[in-house]
Amino acid sequence: MRFAVHRSGRVGFRRNGSHEIENIEVCPIAAPAIEELHIPLSRWHGVREIEVFSPNSTDLEGVMDENSHKAVVAVQPRGRGALRNLPQVGTSKVELMVATHHRDGAGRLEVSMLGRSFRISPGAFWQVHRGAPRTLVTAVLEGLAPQPNERALDLYAGVGLFSAFLADSVGLGGSVIAVEQDRRACADARINTREQPQVQIVNATISPEVIEGLDSPDIVVLDPPRSGIGRANLQALMALQPPPRRIAYLSCDPATFARDIRIALDAGWSMPHLRAFDQFPMTEHVELLALLDPP
């Protein structure tokens, strides 16, 4: 969960489509281990943002390993100075680490999933629903059916979630290129795929020039933020020669997703498959997965 902090030190959420902060005391859909920390009941002076990560998985056997039962509270300071007098949070059931985003190395989490382990640093992206990484990886692999020796491209790769599993499927004779703009996420992705020499992590902001500079892949996963991939990037991707045999487009925003899918359909691509996941329960958000095949 990510909380915004007002100048007064009070904690809340940003209002829909706004930077204004709505103060809160409880969030009814928070994971219990986060709720127990009572983050919003304290004043967080000098803090801009708080990110709390609890992989405590009593309700999802096998998603996380036993050693990862701790909560990480990562705080982003307002200014450059050191933070003093942070509130005491936590209970005996939760091992707590307070990490600041600028203190490198503190507060990293290890999450085990489908037999692989992932390091996630504060600020790096990780799917927010605890069942989502496993569900989405399974759906993407089913949809793309990666074959040994294929070349895969993972755009908006985060800490390498899809790259690691694609690399297992394509094997040492194949390749995976992962493109991600966040430096911390790229550092995690390098660690998370360190035993997979077929993976190359590229720290770059996705643009038509970056895409045109890539060798044409057989399969592509693209998982952009809410703004979507956009016309210019998608057209550059579809123009690669030969075109990828299949693209898996994951989205958490139906509006930009529909806009981008329209661009692909108008260019003659087809959408043989579309799935929706209720990954953000009790909110209006849904996660979508489309498969796109070339003309």
Ligand X SMILES: C[S@@+](CC[C@H](N)C(=O)[O-])C[C@H]1O[C@@H](n2cnc3c(N)ncnc32)[C@H](O)[C@@H]1O
Q: What is the side-by-side order of every strand in the sheet holding 95-100?
A: 21-23, 11-14, 2-5, 47-53, 70-77, 95-100
Q: Is 181 in the site for ligand X (CB under 6 A)?
A: yes
| Residue from 247, 271, 245, 246 nearest 258 by CA | 271
Q: Is 125 in the site for ligand X (CB under 6 A)?
A: yes
Listed ranges 16-24, 37-45, 121-129, 168-176: which one lies at the site for ligand X (CB under 6 A): 121-129
Q: Is 157 in the site for ligand X (CB under 6 A)?
A: yes
Site string for ligand X, 63-102 (x = CB under 6 A): ----------------------------------------
> Between 94 and 157, whose beta carbon lies closer to ligand X?
157
- State the Cα–Cα distance between residues 7 and 78, nearest whole angstrom: 9
> Between 154 and 218, whose beta carbon lies closer to ligand X?
154
- State the Cα–Cα distance between residues 250 and 235, nearest whole angstrom: 17
Helices (H), the chain: 32-35, 132-144, 161-170, 183-192, 208-212, 231-238, 254-266
> Between 7 and 183, whose beta carbon lies closer to ligand X?
183
Binding to ligand X (CB under 6 A): which residues in 247-286? none
Token pair of 61, please? Answer: 């056997």
Q: Is 180 in the site for ligand X (CB under 6 A)?
A: yes
CB of 139 to ligand X, least distance (A): 12
Strands (E) across 87-174 are located at 95-100, 109-113, 116-120, 151-155
Cβ neighbours around 143 below 10 Å, total: 20
Residue closest to ligand X when measured from CB atoms? 158
> Between 126 and 249, whose beta carbon lies closer to ligand X?
126
Say what the alpha-carbon torsion angle 200, 205, 206, 209 is, to the nearest 10 degrees. Answer: -90
Token pair of 176, please? Answer: 């995976």
Beta bridge partners of 99: 74
CB of 184 to ligand X, least distance (A): 9
Site string for ligand X, 7-46 (x = CB under 6 A): ----------------------------------------
> Between 87 and 224, whose beta carbon lies closer to ligand X?
224
Q: Is 158 in the site for ligand X (CB under 6 A)?
A: yes
- State the Cα–Cα distance between residues 179 and 210, nearest whole angstrom: 9
CB of 227 to ligand X, least distance (A): 7
Contact residues for ligand X, defined by CB under 6 A: 125-127, 156-158, 161-162, 179-182, 185, 205-206, 223-225
